Amino acid sequence: MSDGRVHPGEVTLTRDARLKIFDEQRKKHREIPLKAIKRVDCTVLKEWVEEEWRFKENANDEKYFTGRTYPSREYTHKIALQNGQKIEGTLSGIVYVRADPAGEPARYLLHKRDKGEPGTDLKSLVYVRSIQLGAKALEEGKRKAAGTASQKPSAATGKGRS
């Protein structure tokens, strides 16, 4: 995660789902099955703090500002496939990470833009920085989660299954 936390476990998507990415190089949308993915990395394109506003009245386009602010951030993602190919662009999808086979999986939304709650700052707007798949990634994630590794933290690791 962007805050340094690591969540090792089995990575899945909802049944028959694929990650949807707009391939910037080919200028078209692609759907990628989880089993074809080796790694997903997120890069922040732009981040800022916006002023919260509302419309003054219904059916009136006049705005008024509330005096509160909220953080906003735009992302791009890079998917590394098992065959060595790389795809970069805007991504949308929900990824689940199950650390305990008997427990409920954690849900992570991957998308182009995110905004936080009014009154919060950019640091509190945590995002998935990296997802690494495979047996080696799962073991590395477990070491990092235990605090024994000194490498760059990843968001979720584990064997992928869709």
Of 148, 74, 71, nearest to 111 by C-alpha is: 74
Its domain, for residue 44, covers 7-48+74-161
Question: Is residue 60 domain-resident?
Answer: no
Summarised one tens digit per residue, pLDDT across range 112-160 is 999 999 999 999 999 999 999 988 888 888 888 887 444 444 455 555 5
Question: Is residue 64 domain-resident?
Answer: no
Q: How many whole angstroms separate alpha carbon 112 and alpha carbon 90?
A: 5
Number of domains in the chain: 1
Place of tokens 């998917």: 79
- State pTM to two decimals: 0.78
CB 15 within 8 A of CB 40: no
Both tokens assigned to 127: 């995002």
Question: Is residue 13 domain-resident?
Answer: yes
